[in-house]
Structure 1
């Protein structure tokens, strides 16, 4: 099951890749400009040398002949030797004269051991593969480092989160709607999630792992329903869910505001998402699957005030989630 918190980043990455390909290949494709004969294929470099020899046979411009020879950089001697071995339509005498002119102006230019002409540049295409390979290797190392770091962090024991006092002095006295007896043993994991009015994309999820780091499931809290119109959203219900990799079904409980729970139509509609429960500060609900149990405890909650009916939407909600293997938590009789 793909974690809900990864949906937006994955979609953003896919859209970014598609837009990048569209821009790079359709809107503004790469065009090579200011290339040199040294960047040509071998057969085209030989053809270029033949044309340079033919041109010199006509204009007798030795400096221009040398410049055209130097445009080939390190490939000049090989191209000249290839033309000598296969003149094609080039006059052999013209080849000898061209070679003589090159040797006079550049004594070492006409031999295979000639040093590169001053200012000759290595073709850009020869650097692409090494640069891409280095970037790929660096990316693999970085990804491996991040992965190992996360694995180490996940295997570190999580400190238990102590119960906080209600942040709102005027909050009602907690009224539990399920037993809050202590667990029979230490939970696999403890998480805390906080919603505040204005967090319209609120959707927290947490991975549940064994002490050895094996993934066994996932739990989380998200917006279940809203009331009214406009922004920010007025959240009237939260979905508390539990996913078990050994179970085919995700279990969900719907924590509803006092007003939403008292409305028969709203309660019936939200029953399609999960078991409806009226949220009370200090209350606890349990979610159970084939091999996992999760206790969701409302540490703190406050209703919003405004034009909407009292107790209809939440200003703030803090929920603590504790996960055990099946049979590890003490539940009400």
Structure 2
């Protein structure tokens, strides 16, 4: 049952498949179709270990053939200096006296051709400009590739950042994760959502501009992981922000949790803050201790059927409407926890903001409590 949590942020299997296909095709291209080929190299370009072998073979050939001219040519071609040969003599004097003796014979030839070998060795020296440009070129290529990868990921996989911005793990999509939730609770939640879908506000019918995003979110007693998150996008698909609803506070002990307050929030990609309001049960709203505890989370709002409140940021406005409310019953105080709570979240861009201009602003009902009362509390 851990699948929904992992799938929330995981890329799809199709994208992973395309990624691995790209890697395989790239390896085939590099190693078979267009392999790296080295050409026009000379003995002077040999790596240090291979150049030592070159010197030893030249010393052995000189000892066997006595061809000084050929030995001199090989010494010059490889850019071998007397110091290189002397190091090999010292390294092999104890372990291989015969080779050390042969190298000493080659050392005489190297001393005679020292200037020519030094001139040949200049071919592998890197100029000051080349030493600077090569690392800069590598950094430039890495930077360009990073920008390309970031752009691709941004286009194909936009992460839900609203909940990150408010300091909690995001859970995107129209439905909360079902991890730890009984099948009966899930079924009841889905049934409530289907029923509430028919109660969506028809803003055009009342002369208001239709919202660019409109969602219904339902909490059912037993859904202890209730935490809905919705994207706010323009008709063209441009991401503007996020809104959502989740559990804010519980009371009592035991399972399932008794939710006495939920919170609705709005994240605006153009704003540095995330606006939150706490939707309180009648008991929580009238409990001074609970209100004081929840005050840092956001403005306290009394939940009443049909009540409306507004969340506003720099460029977005979300109307929150209570569609359905039913309190739970039991040993706890009356009207202290929710049996079922459905809220409607409708989002508009504010006047002058990108994404369009709403014709009118939805009204906020006084049924949600007096904000001034909280401020004076």
- The TM-score range, normalised by the shorter chain, is 0.3 to 0.5
TM-score by length of 1: 0.47
Ranked by relative contact order (alpha carbons within 8 Å, sequence separation 6 or more), the top structure is 1
TM-score by length of 2: 0.42
